[in-house]
Amino acid sequence: MKKLSILCLLMVAMLQLSAQHDPISKTLSAFPYQQASDASAALAEMHDWKNGQWSQLFTLLDDDSLKLSATYALSAYVQNAAMNAGWKKKAAQILVKGLEQTHTYYSNELIMKYLGLLGEDVAVKSLSKYLNREEDCSNAARALAAIHSDKSIAALKKALSGASESEKKHIQAALDNASMVLPQIISHTTSKDQETNPVQHLLHLEDAYAKLPSPTQKMRVLAEAESIGGFPVFMFVSKSLDDPQVNPFAARICARMSLKDPTIRGTAVRDVLEKSLPLIKGEDSALLAGKLKTHLKAMPYDNGFVSLFNGKDLSGWKALVGNPISRSKMTPQALADAQEKANEKTKNDWIVKDGLLIFTGHGDNLCTDKPYGDFEMYVDWKITEKGDAGIYLRGSPQVQIWDTSRREVGAEVGSGGLYNNQKNMSKPLVVADNKIGEWNQFHIIMKGDKVTVYLNGQLVTDNIVLENYWDRSIPIFPKEQIELQAHGTYVAYRNIYLREIPETYLTPLSAEEKSQGYTPLFDGSNMDQWIGNTQGYLLEDGAIVVHPEKSAGNLYTKNEYADFSYRFEFQLTPGANNGIGIRAPLEGDAAYVGMEIQVLDNEAEMYKNLHPYQYHGSVYGVIPAKRGYLKPVGQWNQEEIIAKGTSIKVILNGTVIVDGDIKEASQNGTMDHKEHPGLLRTTGHIGFLGHGDVVRFKNIRIKEL
């Protein structure tokens, strides 16, 4: 009887262990990262794991045949915890218990590395025990140095005195690394304000970085920069993507920064992230690379930062011709001729050297090819003694730059003021210039006729009207070029980035469309005309944006429509797939119980073997569309769908790509050989038919025929 009882207890224990193990296996199967929703759910489960579940993971980590899935999962968990201050300590406590449980060199090395990454003092006591084990000493010492707290450094120093010769080498190397000081940073820090000013901090780090020979030192500077945060830091770190010694490290920082901060966006950011993605490999790909792929696809193309200077040549810039008023009076041909002459005349006045845009001291202003209205701009600049320069906004002088020692011309007030103002404030609020020969940063924001300027992180011009220098009787021009002033002295620029600020996100009906009988279904202000999946289709920046990770299902118009002209704009992301359902009921697959007009990035490589009836604009499965009229991914397309009886016409960017009759096209069976009962419907809802991809729609209007 006693044996039977023991056997029963063993069976119960095994069943419990099996019941625990199955959920563990299911969680681990989400890694390496596959889908955002799978990874997020798996991570949430891991954050709720009990001690027994973690013990199972560490047991798997010790098993050579099973360690890979456990490694990916642990990497994802630690990276996720490291991005949340509230989770870091708990994660470190879990790893400390794991370090006590694991037995292989592989497991110990991995856990120690992650304890260093988390940087929590709760790991110091446990790591210190490994400093007197020759095989683990190096990994433990590096982890303690990475924690870089008073407690961890004290533990290293204490262990040094009683260590063996080989152990001393590892411990001393860790101490040397931990105590490394960047003299360039300290020597440039001239005041307490500068030490706490994030802009000054970044300028000093950028200067220091250029002089560092060691990859370890470079990584420390990049890590310190990450702690500052913000778009300029992101772009500074991105420059290290070309350095094979540190580019995987820089790529991870760029990924983390973009995931944390939604304001880091735009074509300049997208270029960096696409460059970073292939550099994120191994364990980091378990979560970080997967999250980055999803983030890249969803990241808006509009209203983000672009680079105005590529560091290599003068692409995007031109020489100055006249002023905004004189240019407006020239014929297009006369302006083009004058531009060609000016470009030739000033060819050597502005040069690119060592990644800097430099005015040599002779010649005229350098201007952007493109005019700008409202914008936010970052630019670094540096002058020499007696320097005098400036930045023209909308073709008008100017945000002032000068040597503050030039008291004879009033330069003691500092740079960043609107020098040519007469009625409104022209002087900066404070003197914020760095020493001559050092870099300065402008952060300029222009909205309407008002300008705000931060110089080296300090507000120097606070929402002041910029007067029209060329004709003071009229306001500043609504849109014009930006100019770098040439004023006879050397000046250098770098890190020039600009983000256009839209005047409004609304797209009201034009007077012409009103007179034609169109009514708005979506003008960017609200989604009152829509029902269905309002959790996965969200209003953002004046557009309806598909968020497939938030909710599944379709979005439909409240009303039903029979014959109509339906106009809208859409923006695709790479490989995106959606559709416009017409005359559809609210239930069932709208492509068949109604009709679907295909919305698809059919130029993507993944769609190279499409059937003709699957091209963008096709009546799906029934009438094929002409191909080749989509704008590049990221640009807005204009489309009109006209449904009148059995006649369907689709006009894409001004070209008719479908003009057919669904009755005639299906009388001998449809092209896809499937049943399409919706072809017989004469009325129904219009809807967006999501297929798990990010797509944006705006400016939606309709006219019933």
The domain segmentation of the chain, as residue ranges, is 22-178, 183-295, 317-500, 511-704
Segment 372-386 shows an average pLDDT of 96
Question: Distance between CA atoms of 667 and 561, rounded to whole angstroms?
Answer: 24
The superfamily (CATH) of domain 511-704 is Exo-inulinase; domain 1 (2.60.120.560)
Return the higher-pLDDT residue of 281 and 600. 600
Check if CATH label 1.25.10 holds for domain 22-178: yes
pLDDT of residue 490: 93
Q: Under 8 Å CB-to-CB from 652, ≥6 apart: which residues?
A: 616, 617, 625, 629, 630, 637, 638, 639
Segment 580-593 shows an average pLDDT of 95
Q: How confident is the model at residue 67 (pLDDT cuts 50, 70, 90)?
A: confident
H helices within 299-391, ranges in order?
324-328, 332-345
- Angstrom CA distances, 627 to 475, 483, 578, 580, stand at 47, 42, 17, 17
DSSP 147-169: H--HHHHHHHHHHHHT--HHHHH
Question: Distance between CA atoms of 483 and 375, rounded to whole angstroms?
Answer: 14
State whether residue 442 is helix, strand or coil: strand
- Is the model's pLDDT at 3 over the cut of 50? no
pLDDT of residue 180: 53
Among candidates 592, 599, 561, which has minimal Cα distance to 690? 599
pLDDT of residue 173: 84
Question: Distance between CA atoms of 544 and 531, rounded to whole angstroms?
Answer: 13
Question: Distance between CA atoms of 202 and 205, rounded to whole angstroms?
Answer: 5
Q: Under 8 Å CB-to-CB from 331, ≥6 apart: which residues?
A: none
- Angstrom CA distances, 649 to 123, 484, 561, 655, 662, stand at 67, 50, 16, 11, 10
State whether residue 241 is helix, strand or coil: helix
- Is the model's pLDDT at 234 over the cut of 60? yes
The residues pairing with 702 across neighbouring beta strands, listed in sequence order, are: 519, 566
Segment 342-357 shows an average pLDDT of 92
Return the higher-pLDDT residue of 685 and 2. 685
Q: What is the pLDDT of residues 260-275, one digit of tens each?
A: 899 999 999 999 999 9
Q: Do domains 317-500 and 511-704 have the same CATH topology?
A: yes
- Is the model's pLDDT at 380 over the cut of 90? yes
- Is the model's pLDDT at 185 over the cut of 80? no
- Is the model's pLDDT at 181 over the cut of 50? no
Question: Distance between CA atoms of 335 and 318, rounded to whole angstroms?
Answer: 13
Question: Distance between CA atoms of 607 and 547, rounded to whole angstroms?
Answer: 22
Is there a contact between 448 and 339 (Cβ–Cβ < 8 Å)?
no
pLDDT of residue 206: 94
Segment 313-332 shows an average pLDDT of 96
Q: Under 8 Å CB-to-CB from 265, ≥6 apart: which residues?
A: 258, 299, 300, 303, 304, 305
Helices and strands per DSSP (H, E), number in the chain:
23, 26
- Number of C-beta neighbours around residue 84 at 10 A: 11
pLDDT of residue 284: 62
Helix, strand, coil % in the chain, rounded to nearest 5? 40, 25, 35
The token duo for 253 is 């920082």
The residues pairing with 362 across neighbouring beta strands, listed in sequence order, are: none
Token pair 């735009």 in the structure block, residue: 266
Segment 491-508 shows an average pLDDT of 94
Among candidates 149, 206, 152, which has minimal Cα distance to 182? 206
User: Which is it for the CA torsion 511, 516, 517, 522, positive or negative?
Assistant: negative
Return the higher-pLDDT residue of 213 and 353. 353
β-strands 480-484, 350-353: how paired?
A: unpaired
The token duo for 649 is 């016409």
pLDDT of residue 30: 76
The chain-wide mean pLDDT, for the chain, equals 89
pTM for this predicted structure: 0.75
Is there a contact between 73 and 29 (Cβ–Cβ < 8 Å)?
no
Among candidates 444, 453, 447, which has minimal Cα distance to 425? 453
Q: How confident is the model at residue 343 (pLDDT cuts 50, 70, 90)?
A: very high
- What's phi and psi for 83, nearest 5 deg? -90, 5
CA triple 287-291-293, angle to 5 deg? 120
- Is the model's pLDDT at 65 over the cut of 50? yes
pLDDT of residue 379: 98
- Is the model's pLDDT at 193 over the cut of 80? no
Q: How confident is the model at residue 287 (pLDDT cuts 50, 70, 90)?
A: confident
Q: How confident is the model at residue 33 (pLDDT cuts 50, 70, 90)?
A: low
Question: Distance between CA atoms of 577 and 695, rounded to whole angstroms?
Answer: 8
Residues in the chain: 705
Q: How confident is the model at residue 163 (pLDDT cuts 50, 70, 90)?
A: confident
Buried b (16+ CB within 10 A) or exposed e, 341-358: ebeeebeebbeeeeeebb
Buried b (16+ CB within 10 A) or exposed e, 591-624: bbbbbbbbbbbbbbeeeeebeebbbbbbbbbbbb
CA triple 52-56-58, angle to 5 deg? 115
Q: Is the peptide bond before 32 cis (omega within 30 degrees of 0)?
A: yes
Q: Can you name the CATH fold of 317-500?
A: Jelly Rolls (2.60.120)
Instruction: Provide, rounded to the nearest whole percent, the portion of the chain with pLDDT above 70.
Output: 92
- Angstrom CA distances, 414 to 304, 444, 615, stand at 30, 16, 60
Question: Distance between CA atoms of 346 and 320, rounded to whole angstroms?
Answer: 9
